[in-house]
Protein backbone atom coordinates (compact mmCIF):
# COMPACT_ATOMS: atom_id res chain seq x y z
CA UNK A 1 0.00 0.00 0.00
CA UNK A 2 1.67 3.20 -1.08
CA UNK A 3 1.15 6.44 0.79
CA UNK A 4 1.90 9.76 -0.82
CA UNK A 5 1.89 12.95 1.19
CA UNK A 6 1.58 15.82 -1.26
CA UNK A 7 2.34 19.43 -0.28
CA UNK A 8 0.64 18.90 3.04
CA UNK A 9 0.30 21.90 5.35
CA UNK A 10 -1.50 21.77 8.67
CA UNK A 11 -2.29 24.68 10.96
CA UNK A 12 -3.68 24.43 14.45
CA UNK A 13 -6.46 26.94 15.22
CA UNK A 14 -6.42 28.60 11.78
CA UNK A 15 -7.82 32.11 11.67
CA UNK A 16 -7.37 32.74 15.40
CA UNK A 17 -4.69 34.48 17.46
CA UNK A 18 -3.47 31.02 18.49
CA UNK A 19 -2.77 29.92 14.91
CA UNK A 20 0.40 27.89 14.54
CA UNK A 21 1.78 25.91 11.63
CA UNK A 22 2.52 22.36 12.70
CA UNK A 23 3.29 20.95 9.25
CA UNK A 24 4.64 23.06 6.45
CA UNK A 25 4.56 21.77 2.86
CA UNK A 26 5.39 18.13 3.56
CA UNK A 27 6.14 15.80 0.64
CA UNK A 28 6.71 12.14 1.36
CA UNK A 29 6.34 8.85 -0.49
CA UNK A 30 6.14 5.70 1.58
CA UNK A 31 6.59 2.40 -0.25
CA UNK A 32 5.46 -1.10 0.67
CA UNK A 33 7.43 -2.85 3.36
CA UNK A 34 9.73 0.01 4.36
CA UNK A 35 11.01 0.40 7.92
CA UNK A 36 11.09 4.13 8.47
CA UNK A 37 12.50 5.86 11.54
CA UNK A 38 10.78 9.21 12.16
CA UNK A 39 12.81 11.51 14.41
CA UNK A 40 12.65 15.12 15.55
CA UNK A 41 12.61 16.95 18.87
CA UNK A 42 9.44 17.62 20.85
CA UNK A 43 7.15 19.90 18.86
CA UNK A 44 8.80 19.23 15.49
CA UNK A 45 5.57 17.85 14.02
CA UNK A 46 6.21 14.08 14.11
CA UNK A 47 3.05 13.13 15.93
CA UNK A 48 0.94 15.57 13.89
CA UNK A 49 2.30 13.99 10.72
CA UNK A 50 1.49 10.41 11.71
CA UNK A 51 -2.02 11.48 12.68
CA UNK A 52 -2.48 12.75 9.12
CA UNK A 53 -1.58 9.35 7.71
CA UNK A 54 -4.72 7.63 8.95
CA UNK A 55 -7.05 10.57 8.75
CA UNK A 56 -7.29 11.53 12.43
CA UNK A 57 -6.36 15.07 11.43
CA UNK A 58 -7.30 16.69 8.12
CA UNK A 59 -4.78 18.80 6.19
CA UNK A 60 -5.29 22.57 5.97
CA UNK A 61 -3.99 22.29 2.40
CA UNK A 62 -2.46 19.54 0.29
CA UNK A 63 -3.39 15.94 0.83
CA UNK A 64 -2.63 12.34 1.65
CA UNK A 65 -3.10 9.74 -1.09
CA UNK A 66 -3.37 6.08 -0.19
CA UNK A 67 -3.14 3.77 -3.21
CA UNK A 68 -3.93 6.77 -5.38
CA UNK A 69 -7.10 7.87 -3.57
CA UNK A 70 -7.27 11.14 -1.63
CA UNK A 71 -8.25 10.22 1.94
CA UNK A 72 -9.73 13.69 2.40
CA UNK A 73 -12.41 13.11 -0.28
CA UNK A 74 -16.06 13.01 0.76
CA UNK A 75 -17.16 9.41 1.02
CA UNK A 76 -13.65 8.02 1.49
CA UNK A 77 -13.91 4.99 3.77
CA UNK A 78 -11.87 6.22 6.74
CA UNK A 79 -12.92 3.30 8.88
CA UNK A 80 -11.35 0.89 6.43
CA UNK A 81 -8.25 3.09 6.25
CA UNK A 82 -7.83 3.00 10.02
CA UNK A 83 -7.83 -0.79 9.90
CA UNK A 84 -5.11 -0.67 7.28
CA UNK A 85 -2.98 2.06 8.79
CA UNK A 86 -2.64 1.01 12.42
CA UNK A 87 -1.47 3.65 14.88
CA UNK A 88 0.01 2.68 18.24
CA UNK A 89 0.03 5.75 20.47
CA UNK A 90 2.55 6.57 23.18
CA UNK A 91 2.02 4.48 26.31
CA UNK A 92 -0.61 2.34 24.52
CA UNK A 93 -1.05 0.20 27.64
CA UNK A 94 -3.06 3.07 29.13
CA UNK A 95 -5.73 2.19 26.58
CA UNK A 96 -6.20 -1.41 27.71
CA UNK A 97 -9.65 -1.77 29.21
CA UNK A 98 -11.09 -5.27 28.84
CA UNK A 99 -11.41 -7.88 31.58
CA UNK A 100 -8.92 -10.24 29.97
CA UNK A 101 -6.06 -10.04 27.51
CA UNK A 102 -7.78 -11.99 24.75
CA UNK A 103 -10.94 -9.87 24.78
CA UNK A 104 -8.87 -6.71 24.67
CA UNK A 105 -7.06 -7.82 21.51
CA UNK A 106 -10.41 -8.90 19.93
CA UNK A 107 -11.81 -5.38 20.25
CA UNK A 108 -10.19 -4.01 17.07
CA UNK A 109 -11.01 -6.83 14.62
CA UNK A 110 -14.53 -7.13 16.08
CA UNK A 111 -15.14 -3.49 15.23
CA UNK A 112 -14.00 -4.13 11.68
CA UNK A 113 -17.16 -6.27 11.39
CA UNK A 114 -15.38 -9.63 11.20
CA UNK A 115 -17.07 -12.87 12.30
CA UNK A 116 -16.42 -14.12 15.81
CA UNK A 117 -14.28 -16.95 14.49
CA UNK A 118 -12.12 -14.72 12.32
CA UNK A 119 -11.81 -12.18 15.15
CA UNK A 120 -10.56 -14.84 17.56
CA UNK A 121 -8.17 -16.32 15.03
CA UNK A 122 -6.64 -12.92 14.43
CA UNK A 123 -6.38 -12.13 18.12
CA UNK A 124 -4.63 -15.46 18.69
CA UNK A 125 -2.23 -14.83 15.84
CA UNK A 126 -1.46 -11.27 16.96
CA UNK A 127 -0.74 -12.34 20.54
CA UNK A 128 1.61 -15.03 19.22
CA UNK A 129 3.32 -12.45 17.00
CA UNK A 130 4.18 -10.25 19.96
CA UNK A 131 5.25 -13.23 22.05
CA UNK A 132 2.51 -13.43 24.67
CA UNK A 133 2.17 -17.03 25.94
CA UNK A 134 -1.23 -18.81 26.14
CA UNK A 135 -1.19 -18.80 29.93
CA UNK A 136 -1.72 -15.02 29.93
CA UNK A 137 -4.69 -14.98 27.54
CA UNK A 138 -7.36 -15.07 30.21
CA UNK A 139 -5.61 -12.94 32.79
CA UNK A 140 -6.55 -9.35 33.40
CA UNK A 141 -4.28 -7.13 31.28
CA UNK A 142 -3.68 -5.07 34.41
CA UNK A 143 -1.87 -7.97 36.11
CA UNK A 144 0.86 -8.05 33.49
CA UNK A 145 4.26 -6.37 33.64
CA UNK A 146 4.84 -3.07 31.83
CA UNK A 147 6.56 -4.69 28.86
CA UNK A 148 3.84 -7.33 28.51
CA UNK A 149 1.06 -4.74 28.66
CA UNK A 150 2.80 -2.77 25.95
CA UNK A 151 2.96 -5.88 23.74
CA UNK A 152 -0.71 -6.72 24.35
CA UNK A 153 -1.67 -3.19 23.30
CA UNK A 154 0.39 -3.54 20.12
CA UNK A 155 -1.27 -6.92 19.45
CA UNK A 156 -4.62 -5.10 19.55
CA UNK A 157 -3.52 -3.06 16.54
CA UNK A 158 -1.80 -5.99 14.79
CA UNK A 159 -5.03 -8.02 14.99
CA UNK A 160 -6.55 -5.59 12.50
CA UNK A 161 -3.85 -6.77 10.04
CA UNK A 162 -2.65 -3.29 9.17
CA UNK A 163 -0.61 -2.85 6.03
CA UNK A 164 1.14 0.09 7.65
CA UNK A 165 2.01 0.01 11.34
CA UNK A 166 2.89 3.32 12.96
CA UNK A 167 4.31 3.31 16.50
CA UNK A 168 4.83 6.49 18.50
CA UNK A 169 7.78 5.87 20.83
CA UNK A 170 6.89 2.27 21.57
CA UNK A 171 9.95 1.67 23.77
CA UNK A 172 9.58 4.65 26.18
CA UNK A 173 9.92 3.41 29.74
CA UNK A 174 10.98 -0.14 28.79
CA UNK A 175 14.23 -1.57 30.12
CA UNK A 176 17.03 -2.22 27.59
CA UNK A 177 16.13 -5.88 27.11
CA UNK A 178 12.42 -5.11 26.73
CA UNK A 179 13.33 -2.43 24.21
CA UNK A 180 15.50 -4.79 22.11
CA UNK A 181 12.89 -7.54 22.25
CA UNK A 182 10.14 -5.24 21.05
CA UNK A 183 12.19 -3.82 18.19
CA UNK A 184 13.31 -7.33 17.15
CA UNK A 185 9.64 -8.39 17.19
CA UNK A 186 8.71 -5.51 14.91
CA UNK A 187 11.46 -6.52 12.49
CA UNK A 188 10.22 -10.09 12.35
CA UNK A 189 6.57 -9.02 12.01
CA UNK A 190 7.58 -6.93 9.04
CA UNK A 191 9.46 -9.86 7.50
CA UNK A 192 6.52 -12.23 8.01
CA UNK A 193 3.71 -9.93 6.90
CA UNK A 194 5.46 -7.50 4.58
CA UNK A 195 3.84 -4.55 6.38
CA UNK A 196 5.39 -1.10 6.42
CA UNK A 197 6.65 0.12 9.79
CA UNK A 198 7.00 3.74 10.81
CA UNK A 199 8.82 4.07 14.12
CA UNK A 200 8.67 7.45 15.88
CA UNK A 201 11.66 7.53 18.20
CA UNK A 202 13.89 9.73 20.33
CA UNK A 203 16.70 7.20 20.20
CA UNK A 204 19.25 7.71 17.44
CA UNK A 205 20.80 4.34 18.35
CA UNK A 206 17.51 2.50 17.79
CA UNK A 207 16.70 4.07 14.42
CA UNK A 208 20.30 3.54 13.28
CA UNK A 209 20.03 -0.16 14.10
CA UNK A 210 16.54 -0.96 12.86
CA UNK A 211 15.34 1.48 10.21
CA UNK A 212 16.37 1.43 6.57
CA UNK A 213 15.21 4.98 6.01
CA UNK A 214 15.14 7.95 8.37
CA UNK A 215 12.90 10.98 8.07
CA UNK A 216 13.98 13.93 10.22
CA UNK A 217 11.35 16.54 11.11
CA UNK A 218 12.32 20.04 12.16
CA UNK A 219 9.96 22.98 12.72
CA UNK A 220 7.16 21.30 10.78
CA UNK A 221 9.30 20.52 7.75
CA UNK A 222 11.26 17.51 6.57
CA UNK A 223 14.92 18.32 7.14
CA UNK A 224 16.41 15.04 5.94
CA UNK A 225 14.98 11.93 4.31
CA UNK A 226 17.56 9.28 3.49
CA UNK A 227 19.28 6.09 4.66
CA UNK A 228 20.55 6.16 8.28
CA UNK A 229 24.13 6.26 7.00
CA UNK A 230 23.47 9.40 4.94
CA UNK A 231 21.29 11.14 7.54
CA UNK A 232 23.86 10.71 10.32
CA UNK A 233 26.52 12.37 8.16
CA UNK A 234 24.75 15.64 9.08
CA UNK A 235 26.08 15.57 12.63
CA UNK A 236 26.28 19.33 13.20
CA UNK A 237 22.87 20.11 11.70
CA UNK A 238 21.29 17.31 13.73
CA UNK A 239 22.83 18.68 16.90
CA UNK A 240 21.46 22.13 16.13
CA UNK A 241 18.02 20.56 15.80
CA UNK A 242 18.33 19.15 19.31
CA UNK A 243 18.95 15.65 18.03
CA UNK A 244 22.40 14.21 17.39
CA UNK A 245 24.02 11.05 16.15
CA UNK A 246 24.21 7.59 17.76
CA UNK A 247 26.68 7.42 20.68
CA UNK A 248 29.08 5.24 18.72
CA UNK A 249 29.15 7.69 15.78
CA UNK A 250 30.09 10.45 18.22
CA UNK A 251 32.87 8.20 19.52
CA UNK A 252 34.23 7.79 15.98
CA UNK A 253 34.28 11.57 15.51
CA UNK A 254 36.27 11.90 18.76
CA UNK A 255 38.76 9.28 17.51
CA UNK A 256 39.11 11.13 14.24
CA UNK A 257 39.69 14.42 16.09
CA UNK A 258 42.44 12.68 18.08
CA UNK A 259 44.21 11.76 14.84
CA UNK A 260 43.01 8.23 14.19
CA UNK A 261 42.32 7.79 10.46
CA UNK A 262 38.90 6.22 11.08
CA UNK A 263 35.77 6.65 9.01
CA UNK A 264 32.94 8.52 10.74
CA UNK A 265 30.32 6.80 8.58
CA UNK A 266 29.74 4.31 11.37
CA UNK A 267 26.38 3.93 13.06
CA UNK A 268 26.57 0.59 14.87
CA UNK A 269 28.93 -0.84 17.48
CA UNK A 270 29.83 -3.87 15.35
CA UNK A 271 30.94 -1.84 12.35
CA UNK A 272 32.90 0.42 14.72
CA UNK A 273 34.78 -2.58 16.12
CA UNK A 274 35.68 -3.76 12.60
CA UNK A 275 36.79 -0.27 11.56
CA UNK A 276 38.98 0.28 14.63
CA UNK A 277 40.65 -3.12 14.26
CA UNK A 278 41.33 -2.33 10.62
CA UNK A 279 42.83 1.07 11.39
CA UNK A 280 45.01 -0.36 14.15
CA UNK A 281 46.24 -2.96 11.67
CA UNK A 282 45.00 -5.95 13.66
CA UNK B 1 25.51 9.84 59.58
CA UNK B 2 23.92 8.46 56.44
CA UNK B 3 21.03 10.50 55.06
CA UNK B 4 19.29 7.27 54.06
CA UNK B 5 19.79 3.85 55.54
CA UNK B 6 17.72 0.75 54.93
CA UNK B 7 18.01 -2.19 57.24
CA UNK B 8 16.78 -5.53 55.84
CA UNK B 9 13.98 -3.71 54.03
CA UNK B 10 11.33 -6.10 52.74
CA UNK B 11 8.08 -5.11 51.06
CA UNK B 12 5.38 -7.60 50.23
CA UNK B 13 2.00 -7.04 48.76
CA UNK B 14 -0.86 -9.44 48.80
CA UNK B 15 -2.57 -10.19 45.53
CA UNK B 16 -6.31 -10.77 45.79
CA UNK B 17 -8.87 -12.02 43.30
CA UNK B 18 -12.17 -10.23 42.62
CA UNK B 19 -13.84 -11.68 45.73
CA UNK B 20 -10.96 -10.49 47.88
CA UNK B 21 -9.51 -13.94 48.50
CA UNK B 22 -5.75 -14.04 48.84
CA UNK B 23 -4.14 -15.37 45.65
CA UNK B 24 -0.56 -15.04 46.67
CA UNK B 25 2.13 -12.77 48.00
CA UNK B 26 4.60 -10.88 45.85
CA UNK B 27 7.85 -9.79 47.43
CA UNK B 28 8.70 -6.60 45.57
CA UNK B 29 11.68 -5.67 47.74
CA UNK B 30 13.52 -8.51 49.40
CA UNK B 31 15.78 -7.92 52.39
CA UNK B 32 17.63 -4.90 51.07
CA UNK B 33 20.22 -3.06 53.16
CA UNK B 34 22.21 -0.06 52.00
CA UNK B 35 23.39 3.37 53.05
CA UNK B 36 23.46 6.61 51.14
CA UNK B 37 25.76 9.31 52.43
CA UNK B 38 24.97 13.00 52.44
CA UNK B 39 25.81 14.65 49.13
CA UNK B 40 26.16 11.43 47.17
CA UNK B 41 24.82 10.92 43.65
CA UNK B 42 23.42 7.41 43.51
CA UNK B 43 21.89 5.73 40.47
CA UNK B 44 19.51 2.80 40.74
CA UNK B 45 19.20 0.48 37.76
CA UNK B 46 17.10 -2.60 37.16
CA UNK B 47 14.76 -4.05 34.58
CA UNK B 48 10.99 -3.40 34.60
CA UNK B 49 9.56 -5.11 37.66
CA UNK B 50 12.88 -5.44 39.49
CA UNK B 51 11.59 -3.48 42.49
CA UNK B 52 13.43 -0.21 42.03
CA UNK B 53 10.38 2.06 42.03
CA UNK B 54 8.91 0.24 45.01
CA UNK B 55 12.21 0.77 46.79
CA UNK B 56 12.22 4.46 45.89
CA UNK B 57 8.73 4.95 47.31
CA UNK B 58 10.01 3.81 50.70
CA UNK B 59 12.50 6.65 50.83
CA UNK B 60 9.92 9.35 51.42
CA UNK B 61 7.30 7.32 53.23
CA UNK B 62 4.86 6.71 50.37
CA UNK B 63 5.24 3.01 51.16
CA UNK B 64 6.26 1.44 54.47
CA UNK B 65 8.32 -1.71 54.93
CA UNK B 66 6.55 -5.01 55.64
CA UNK B 67 9.72 -6.01 57.49
CA UNK B 68 12.91 -4.15 58.27
CA UNK B 69 13.40 -0.42 58.68
CA UNK B 70 14.10 2.66 56.60
CA UNK B 71 15.88 5.53 58.31
CA UNK B 72 15.80 8.98 56.75
CA UNK B 73 18.22 11.35 58.47
CA UNK B 74 18.21 8.89 61.37
CA UNK B 75 14.42 8.80 61.69
CA UNK B 76 12.39 5.62 61.25
CA UNK B 77 9.92 6.26 58.42
CA UNK B 78 7.32 3.86 59.87
CA UNK B 79 6.71 6.03 62.91
CA UNK B 80 3.79 8.40 62.40
CA UNK B 81 5.50 11.17 64.33
CA UNK B 82 8.36 11.24 61.78
CA UNK B 83 6.17 11.34 58.67
CA UNK B 84 6.37 15.08 57.91
CA UNK B 85 10.06 15.30 58.74
CA UNK B 86 10.76 12.42 56.38
CA UNK B 87 8.79 13.98 53.55
CA UNK B 88 10.44 17.33 54.07
CA UNK B 89 13.86 15.71 53.98
CA UNK B 90 13.31 13.66 50.84
CA UNK B 91 11.55 15.07 47.79
CA UNK B 92 10.35 12.96 44.91
CA UNK B 93 10.11 13.58 41.14
CA UNK B 94 8.19 11.13 38.95
CA UNK B 95 8.28 10.08 35.31
CA UNK B 96 5.42 12.02 33.79
CA UNK B 97 5.68 15.80 34.26
CA UNK B 98 2.03 16.24 33.29
CA UNK B 99 0.96 14.34 36.39
CA UNK B 100 2.98 16.53 38.73
CA UNK B 101 2.19 20.06 37.66
CA UNK B 102 -0.94 21.64 39.05
CA UNK B 103 -0.41 25.40 38.85
CA UNK B 104 -1.74 27.64 36.05
CA UNK B 105 1.51 29.59 36.05
CA UNK B 106 5.02 28.20 36.57
CA UNK B 107 5.78 30.28 39.69
CA UNK B 108 2.46 29.34 41.27
CA UNK B 109 3.23 25.67 40.73
CA UNK B 110 6.62 25.98 42.38
CA UNK B 111 5.11 27.89 45.32
CA UNK B 112 2.56 25.17 46.03
CA UNK B 113 4.93 22.98 48.07
CA UNK B 114 6.31 25.62 50.45
CA UNK B 115 2.82 27.08 50.87
CA UNK B 116 1.63 23.72 52.12
CA UNK B 117 4.52 23.62 54.55
CA UNK B 118 3.27 26.92 56.01
CA UNK B 119 6.23 28.97 54.81
CA UNK B 120 5.59 32.76 55.12
CA UNK B 121 4.59 34.43 51.83
CA UNK B 122 7.73 36.56 51.42
CA UNK B 123 9.90 33.48 51.82
CA UNK B 124 7.79 31.50 49.34
CA UNK B 125 8.69 34.10 46.71
CA UNK B 126 12.37 33.83 47.60
CA UNK B 127 12.29 30.05 47.43
CA UNK B 128 10.43 30.12 44.13
CA UNK B 129 13.06 32.40 42.65
CA UNK B 130 16.08 30.42 43.85
CA UNK B 131 14.55 27.06 42.86
CA UNK B 132 13.65 28.17 39.35
CA UNK B 133 17.09 29.71 38.93
CA UNK B 134 18.73 26.47 40.10
CA UNK B 135 17.08 24.51 37.27
CA UNK B 136 17.43 27.31 34.71
CA UNK B 137 13.70 28.03 34.41
CA UNK B 138 13.43 31.46 36.07
CA UNK B 139 12.77 33.29 32.79
CA UNK B 140 9.71 31.06 32.30
CA UNK B 141 8.16 31.91 35.69
CA UNK B 142 5.17 33.80 34.25
CA UNK B 143 4.41 31.17 31.59
CA UNK B 144 1.70 28.56 31.62
CA UNK B 145 3.22 25.11 32.26
CA UNK B 146 1.23 23.53 29.43
CA UNK B 147 3.11 25.62 26.88
CA UNK B 148 6.50 24.24 27.95
CA UNK B 149 8.42 21.32 26.45
CA UNK B 150 8.71 18.02 28.34
CA UNK B 151 12.22 18.80 29.58
CA UNK B 152 11.15 22.25 30.75
CA UNK B 153 8.09 20.85 32.55
CA UNK B 154 10.22 18.24 34.25
CA UNK B 155 12.62 20.96 35.43
CA UNK B 156 9.64 22.88 36.84
CA UNK B 157 8.65 19.69 38.71
CA UNK B 158 12.17 19.52 40.14
CA UNK B 159 12.00 23.21 41.14
CA UNK B 160 8.71 22.48 42.90
CA UNK B 161 10.45 19.85 44.99
CA UNK B 162 13.51 22.07 45.56
CA UNK B 163 11.36 24.88 46.91
CA UNK B 164 10.53 22.62 49.84
CA UNK B 165 14.27 22.61 50.69
CA UNK B 166 14.78 18.85 50.74
CA UNK B 167 18.17 17.43 51.67
CA UNK B 168 17.68 14.58 49.26
CA UNK B 169 15.84 14.27 45.97
CA UNK B 170 14.66 10.97 44.46
CA UNK B 171 13.98 10.97 40.71
CA UNK B 172 12.06 7.99 39.33
CA UNK B 173 12.81 7.78 35.60
CA UNK B 174 12.51 11.56 35.14
CA UNK B 175 13.71 11.41 31.52
CA UNK B 176 11.76 8.42 30.17
CA UNK B 177 9.32 10.63 28.25
CA UNK B 178 11.76 13.24 27.01
CA UNK B 179 13.64 13.86 23.76
CA UNK B 180 17.47 13.99 23.76
CA UNK B 181 17.62 17.73 24.54
CA UNK B 182 15.06 17.42 27.33
CA UNK B 183 17.00 14.52 28.82
CA UNK B 184 20.22 16.51 28.81
CA UNK B 185 18.55 19.53 30.42
CA UNK B 186 17.10 17.46 33.25
CA UNK B 187 20.29 15.48 33.93
CA UNK B 188 22.33 18.67 33.85
CA UNK B 189 19.96 20.28 36.36
CA UNK B 190 20.17 17.26 38.68
CA UNK B 191 23.95 17.16 38.50
CA UNK B 192 24.16 20.88 39.23
CA UNK B 193 21.97 20.48 42.32
CA UNK B 194 24.20 17.69 43.50
CA UNK B 195 27.50 19.47 42.73
CA UNK B 196 26.62 23.00 43.75
CA UNK B 197 23.84 22.72 46.31
CA UNK B 198 25.17 19.43 47.71
CA UNK B 199 21.73 17.89 47.61
CA UNK B 200 21.83 14.10 47.75
CA UNK B 201 20.47 12.77 44.45
CA UNK B 202 19.02 9.32 43.80
CA UNK B 203 18.33 8.73 40.13
CA UNK B 204 16.37 5.78 38.79
CA UNK B 205 16.82 5.35 35.06
CA UNK B 206 17.01 2.99 32.08
CA UNK B 207 19.47 5.22 30.25
CA UNK B 208 22.94 3.92 30.93
CA UNK B 209 24.67 7.07 29.71
CA UNK B 210 22.97 9.13 32.44
CA UNK B 211 24.74 7.36 35.26
CA UNK B 212 28.40 7.48 34.28
CA UNK B 213 28.85 10.47 36.59
CA UNK B 214 27.19 8.86 39.62
CA UNK B 215 29.22 8.18 42.76
CA UNK B 216 27.57 4.84 43.24
CA UNK B 217 25.33 2.52 41.24
CA UNK B 218 22.91 0.00 42.70
CA UNK B 219 21.48 -2.66 40.37
CA UNK B 220 18.24 -4.31 41.45
CA UNK B 221 16.96 -7.70 40.35
CA UNK B 222 13.97 -9.61 41.71
CA UNK B 223 13.73 -7.21 44.64
CA UNK B 224 17.31 -7.75 45.76
CA UNK B 225 20.51 -5.81 45.21
CA UNK B 226 22.24 -7.69 42.39
CA UNK B 227 25.25 -5.41 42.01
CA UNK B 228 26.60 -2.30 43.73
CA UNK B 229 29.68 -0.23 43.08
CA UNK B 230 31.09 2.69 41.13
CA UNK B 231 29.93 3.12 37.52
CA UNK B 232 33.29 1.74 36.38
CA UNK B 233 32.99 -1.36 38.53
CA UNK B 234 29.45 -1.96 37.29
CA UNK B 235 30.11 -1.28 33.61
CA UNK B 236 33.16 -3.58 33.67
CA UNK B 237 30.73 -6.47 33.93
CA UNK B 238 29.03 -6.27 30.55
CA UNK B 239 27.86 -9.89 30.46
CA UNK B 240 26.39 -9.76 33.95
CA UNK B 241 24.49 -6.55 33.11
CA UNK B 242 23.12 -8.17 29.95
CA UNK B 243 21.90 -11.14 32.00
CA UNK B 244 20.04 -8.63 34.20
CA UNK B 245 18.24 -7.24 31.10
CA UNK B 246 20.41 -4.13 31.17
CA UNK B 247 22.85 -2.54 28.82
CA UNK B 248 25.99 -0.42 28.76
CA UNK B 249 26.71 2.81 26.86
CA UNK B 250 27.74 2.17 23.23
CA UNK B 251 31.32 3.32 23.86
CA UNK B 252 31.64 0.84 26.76
CA UNK B 253 30.24 -1.93 24.56
CA UNK B 254 32.65 -1.07 21.76
CA UNK B 255 35.64 -1.21 24.15
CA UNK B 256 34.38 -4.52 25.52
CA UNK B 257 34.15 -6.04 22.04
CA UNK B 258 37.59 -4.75 21.06
CA UNK B 259 38.97 -6.39 24.17
CA UNK B 260 37.30 -9.66 23.23
CA UNK B 261 38.87 -9.33 19.79
CA UNK B 262 42.27 -9.30 21.46
CA UNK B 263 43.02 -5.60 21.94
CA UNK B 264 44.73 -4.65 25.18
CA UNK B 265 42.14 -2.18 26.43
CA UNK B 266 40.80 -1.93 30.00
CA UNK B 267 37.24 -2.95 30.95
CA UNK B 268 34.80 -0.32 32.18
CA UNK B 269 35.52 2.49 29.72
CA UNK B 270 32.83 5.09 30.45
CA UNK B 271 33.43 8.08 28.21
CA UNK B 272 34.70 8.91 24.73
CA UNK B 273 37.75 10.63 26.24
CA UNK B 274 38.78 7.52 28.16
CA UNK B 275 38.22 5.46 25.04
CA UNK B 276 40.42 7.70 22.89
CA UNK B 277 43.20 7.60 25.54
CA UNK B 278 43.00 3.82 25.83
CA UNK B 279 43.27 3.41 22.07
CA UNK B 280 46.22 5.78 21.89
CA UNK B 281 48.06 3.44 24.22
CA UNK B 282 47.27 0.53 21.91
CA UNK B 283 48.92 2.14 18.93
pLDDT tens string B262-273 = 999 998 899 999
Q: What is the pLDDT of residue B183?
A: 87
What's the pLDDT tens digit per position in B175-211?
Answer: 888 888 888 888 998 999 899 889 999 999 988 889 9
Residue B272 distance to chain A (closest CA, Å): 6
Residue B134 has pLDDT above 80, yes or no: yes
Contact list in A for residue B282 (CB cut-off 8 A) is 280
What pLDDT does residue A148 have? 85
| A→B interface, C-beta within 8 Å | 41-43, 90, 143, 145-147, 172-179, 202, 204-205, 242-244, 246-248, 250-251, 254-255, 258, 260, 269-270, 272-273, 276-277, 280, 282
SS3 of chain B: the string is CCCEEEEEEEEEEEEECCCCCEEEEEEEEEEEEEEECCCCEEEEEECCCCCHHHHHHHCCCCCCCCEEEEEECCEECCCHHHHHHHHHHEEEECCCHHHCCCCCCHHHHHHHHHHHCCCCHHHHHHHHHHHHHHCCCHHHCCCCHHHCCHHHHHHHHHHHHHCCCCCEEEEECCCCCCCHHHHHHHHHHHHHHHHCCCCEEEEECCCHHHCCCCCEEEEEECCEEEEEECHHHHHCCHHHHHHCCCCCCHHHHHHHHHHHCCCCCCCCCCCHHHHHHHHHHHC
Helix (H) or strand (E) run with residue A140 in it: none
Judge whether A5 and A64 are in contact, CB under 8 Å. Answer: yes
DSSP A174: -
Q: How far is CA A115 from the centre of its chain?
A: 30
Q: At B62, is the pLDDT very low, low, confident or very high (cuts 50, 70, 90)?
A: very high
- How many angstroms separate the CA of residue B247 from the nearest CA in chain A? 6
ipTM value? 0.84
User: How would CATH label the architecture of B4-231?
Assistant: 3-Layer(aba) Sandwich (3.40)
Q: Each residue of B138-171: pLDDT tens digit?
A: 999 999 988 888 888 889 999 999 999 999 999 9
| Among candidate residues A238, A222, A228, the one with its CA nearest the CA of residue A45 | A222
Pick out chain A residues at pLDDT < 50: none
- Residue A41 has its nearest CB partner, among B181, B246, B257, at B181
pLDDT, chain B, mean? 91
Is B42 in contact with B216 (CB distance < 8 Å)? Answer: yes
Identify the pLDDT of residue A129: 87
Of A172, A205, A246, the CB nearest to B176: A172
Q: Looking at CA atoms only, how far is residue B243 from chain A in angstroms?
A: 9
Contact A175 B206 (CB under 8 A): yes
Q: What is the pLDDT of residues A193-220, one digit of tens each?
A: 999 999 999 999 999 999 999 999 999 9
The reported pLDDT for the residue numbered B96 is: 83
For the cut 90, the answer to whether the pLDDT of residue B218 exceeds it is: yes
Contacts of B246 in chain A (CB under 8 A): 175-177
- Most A CBs within 10 Å, among B13, B24, B209, B279, to test the A interface: B279
- Residue B249, pLDDT score: 92
CB–CB contact B263 A277 (8 Å): yes
Q: pLDDT at residue B26 above 90?
A: no
Each residue's pLDDT tens digit, A36-87: 999 998 888 898 999 999 899 999 999 999 999 999 998 899 988 988 999 9
Look at residue A196 in the predicted model and tell me its pLDDT: 96
Percent of chain B with pLDDT over 90: 68
Q: Are A229 and B247 in contact (CB under 8 A)?
A: no
Amino acid sequence: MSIIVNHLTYRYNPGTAMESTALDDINLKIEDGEFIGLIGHTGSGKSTLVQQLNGILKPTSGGVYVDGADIGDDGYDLKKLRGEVGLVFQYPEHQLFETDVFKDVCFGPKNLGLTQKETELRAYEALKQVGIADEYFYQSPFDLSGGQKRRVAIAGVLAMKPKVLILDEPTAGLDPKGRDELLDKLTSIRQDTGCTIILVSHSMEDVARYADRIVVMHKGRIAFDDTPMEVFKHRDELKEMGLGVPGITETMYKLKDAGFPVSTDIITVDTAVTEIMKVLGR
Amino acid sequence: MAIIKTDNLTFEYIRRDEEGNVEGITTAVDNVSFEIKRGEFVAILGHNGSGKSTLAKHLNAILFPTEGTVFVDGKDTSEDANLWDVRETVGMVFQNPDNQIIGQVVEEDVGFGPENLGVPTAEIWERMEESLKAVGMYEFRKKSPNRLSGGQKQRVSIAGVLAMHPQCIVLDEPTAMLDPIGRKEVIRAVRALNDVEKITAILITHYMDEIVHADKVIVMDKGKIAMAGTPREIFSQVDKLKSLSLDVPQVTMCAHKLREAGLNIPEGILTNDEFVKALQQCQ
